[in-house]
Amino acid sequence: MRRLFGLALVIAACGGQGGGPADADVSDGPPPDVPLVALTLDAGDGATLVVQNDGEVRLERDGVVLVSLERDGFEVGTVPSLDPSLNYDPYFLEDVEPVMYRPPAGLEWEHPRAADVAERGEGLALDLDYGDGRTSTLETAVSAEGRFSASWSLPGGERVPVFARLVFRVDPEERFYGLGEHFDHVEHRGRVRAMQIEPAPLEGANNEAHVPIPLLIGTSGWGLYVDSRRPGVFAVGTDEDDVVRVTYGLGAASAEGLRFFLVAEGHPLDVTRHFHEVTGQFGEVAPWALGPLIWRDEVAGQAEVEDDLRTIRDLDLATTGYWIDRPYASGVNSFDFDPELYSDPAAMISLAHDLGFRMSLWHTPYVDEEDDATRPLYDHALAEGFFPPQRSTAAARWGPPIDFTNPEAVAWWQDLLGAYRDLGVEGYKLDYAEEVLVGAFGIRLPWSFHDGTDELTMHGGYQVGYHRAYAEMLPADGGFLLCRASVAGDQVHGPIIWPGDIDASFARLGDAVVDEAGEEYTAVGGLPAAVVAGSSLGPSGFPLFGSDTGGYRHAPPDRETYIRWFEHTALSTVMQVGTGSNDLPWDLGDTGLDEEVLELYRVYARLHLRLFPYLWTYLMRVRDDGRAVQRPLGLAHPELGEHPDDIYLLGDHLLVAPVVDRGVTTRDVPFPVGTWQDWWTGVAYEGRVSVPAPLETLPLFVRLWTPVPMLRPTIDTLSPVADPAEIDSFDTRHDPLWVRVAVAAEVDAPQTVELALYDGTALSVVAEPGAGGCVAIVVERTPGTVFAAALVFELVGAALREAAHAPSRMAAETAIDEASDAAAFEESDAAWLETEPGRALVKVPVGSNVLSATVCGP
């Protein structure tokens, strides 16, 4: 890594340097006879950290203050003595209505009385004096270009420091993203965010903080990552608009202090790259994991699985994987298939592979003492010490969890998993494993583990060992891990997050809902929660997310809910389909779903699969630029001043505005600067527009002149198949690459848009004013390692007047979206197919890679 470091010294008269609040008292600075000293670290690209002897620390970019810490912002919560029964969880210190919680006895908040700054090694040290000889130090250094590391030690003395709090001064108008998976809002101003599961008055009895990530991103381009798994809380502009409080409960571990990183970037989307560089790059995932995936809850047995697999192909539903949910084994985690239900699991998995499916299983980390099928495994694990030595939280319904900090336990567990690997299982849905809590209402519920850790870090750290054990049993090129819970650093195992059991409805988090039996419950959220969760996770460092299409709690979903849900998941990173009531697109029970819904599902599932080259390209880019694939509109385009929960971008060029409210048939969409074309109609929009959104249509828009790489309309799967003549597989044949381009009948000035694909293929579109008021366009491909031969361009938005290399024309009566029509065009000698006004397909000869064409108005 290239190390950038610069150090500058500024000495001014007292009060000569600013950066703090306008009303800062002179007493906040050094004594009157001591000049103000400001030392600066330079991390390159305009990023500087200024540290002053009045105790202020400022993160700047190109001379503009992004965020600052004043001397009083280094708060330490101290108590007369440590109480080992308390967990020192700071969440309820910020909760507006704490229930069943009392702050630790004798808690006092202390602030530094004086400060000094000095060079120390290659960094800067801010020494803070809390009085009575009690001092602490903030050590800062350049960590990488645009990033600074900081370690804050806490003061010693007679009183015990148990809480560390940083109080940041921010722009009172700024908005904030990141902080992991959330169900209510993707933007955090005015909200308290816990970094651990907490009790909450929801149906699930907790705050649904399954993936808390201590990465806060400001829309001005700065970021804060706190490198701690101890209980923490972020209060984002809750009391004062210009204040963000970050509090961690260290308790007996106060000697650890608090380590954090500050980042300054030109665009807020670039902050996430630093999170990956510090905690680890996102791990390997199999490409098929991004295709449509289908599963059933409570699978009846091998006959039903095989029937599902054949039905998917008979109904021509684009699908790449299938997982078998519980129950399928003799007992939970008995590492077999129940012989009474599965007579020949090897043959079942072989059939799946022949039909182009990859297979996964539901799994958990428990061993049940009460089940005859797992009792021998339990006895062995108990005798060998494979369970955590101390467990306080109530055990899961299937027994205690394995201690994944014990290498021998991991080796034993993986040896058992080998039976599934040998059968051809390539993925797992990893459920539960959230029993390790920091406690409740400030009280510890003690756990201990083989490596000496306890629940105060393992409330999240447990997930890392759990997921690592399974990730190591997947194919080297990646598999499928669908995980309920995770923490910072766990992204290296390539987990796809699903939000657990959310409602099969349009309910929002906290809604009071009355079910069909007249019972009232407080919702954890349905489709709106799923959209928010996926958009919040991407910038937080977890780029893959897929909710249960249709929801889980209180299933089945009704017709409108189901349609709106699969419209959304088709235009998300992962489309996994299944509900808590065992519904599938063709097996819809009495929910009002019908053949019309099945046909609509077929269209959206295939669209999701066709977009694989586009989605996989942006996923591969995450390792280079860190930018989320699914990006909240307000974070991707903060200049709009709009921060909706339910509008997002996929990559740079697709804008998605799913309908998440019942009965809504229009959407108010604030478009980023430029022209955006309706994916379905070709209508162009700019500015803020109310767009139509009938039930059968997802509001989806593409940036004008953008080349969108797609697979052919007949594609069924990404995986190998036994009969390529019956099942259209990307593994069998990569070509032709379809490149869809949003065009217009006029352009004021030359336009150029380029897109580099994951395989090295380069696409470019150049549009210029042409003769007769038309537009001359050149669409070009530079071949890569995968997409190197046949090529079809799809031009949408204007009439094709002429096209080089395309003298012959084919008439069509069906729409361009019809797979049969597209297949006929591919196989014909014709090079030009106009399916309807403003929509045309053009083939170019193999090897030419260039389309020169003219498009005009009607």
In three-state secondary structure terms, 781 is: strand
The CATH classification of domain 287-632, taken from the options 3.20.20.80, 3.90.1150.10, 2.40.50.100, 3.20.20.70: 3.20.20.80
- Position 419 scores a pLDDT of 97
Strand pairing class (684-685; 36-42): unpaired
Where would I find the H helices in 52-158?
A: 91-94
pLDDT in tens, 447-488: 999 999 999 999 999 999 999 999 999 998 889 999 999 999
Q: Is 592 exposed, middle or buried, given 0-12, 13-18 or 19+ CB atoms closer than 10 A?
A: middle
- Dihedral angle over CA of 69, 71, 74, 77, nearest 10: -150
- Position 2 scores a pLDDT of 29
- Dihedral angle over CA of 218, 219, 221, 223, nearest 10: 20
The confidence band for 844, taking pLDDT boundaries of 50, 70 and 90, is confident
Please name the CATH architecture into which domain 640-703 falls: Sandwich (2.60)
pLDDT in tens, 31-78: 667 799 999 999 999 999 999 999 999 999 999 999 999 999 999 999
- Position 829 scores a pLDDT of 61
Radius of gyration in angstroms for the set of CA atoms belonging to the chain, rounded to a whole number: 29
Q: How far, in Å, CA of 858 to CA of 843, rounded? A: 22
The confidence band for 183, taking pLDDT boundaries of 50, 70 and 90, is very high
Closest to 577 (Cα-Cα) out of 322, 294, 309: 294
Mean pLDDT of 196-207: 93
Is the separation of the CB atoms in 124 and 51 below 8 Å?
yes
Could you identify the residue written with the tokens 């319904």?
397
Mean pLDDT of 409-414: 98
Mean pLDDT of 745-755: 95
Helix (H) or strand (E) holding 205: none
**pLDDT at 277 > cutoff 50:** yes
Beta strands in 82-122 (DSSP E): 108-110, 114-120
Is the separation of the CB atoms in 219 and 127 below 8 Å?
no
Q: Give me the CATH code for the 709-856 domain, please.
A: 2.60.40
Is the separation of the CB atoms in 137 and 125 below 8 Å?
yes
**pLDDT at 494 > cutoff 80:** yes
**pLDDT at 15 > cutoff 70:** no
Q: Do the domains 287-632 and 709-856 sit in the same CATH topology, yes or no? A: no
**Per-domain residue ranges of the chain:** 71-174+219-279, 287-632, 640-703, 709-856
Q: What angle do CA 335, 338, 339 make, to 5 degrees?
A: 125
Q: How far, in Å, CA of 590 to CA of 268, rounded? A: 47
- Position 9 scores a pLDDT of 39
pLDDT in tens, 539-566: 999 999 999 999 999 999 999 999 999 9
- Position 590 scores a pLDDT of 61
pLDDT in tens, 574-588: 999 999 998 899 986
pLDDT in tens, 68-107: 999 999 999 999 999 999 999 999 999 767 677 889 999 9
Q: How far, in Å, CA of 500 to CA of 636, rounded? A: 27
**pLDDT at 4 > cutoff 70:** no
Out of 228-232, 366-370, 393-397, 769-773, least confident range? 393-397
**pLDDT at 199 > cutoff 70:** yes
Average pLDDT over the chain reads 92
Q: How far, in Å, CA of 795 to CA of 783, rounded? A: 20
Q: How far, in Å, CA of 313 to CA of 379, rounded? A: 44
Could you identify the residue written with the tokens 């809390």?
130
Q: How far, in Å, CA of 135 to CA of 118, rounded? A: 15
Is the separation of the CB atoms in 448 and 390 below 8 Å?
yes
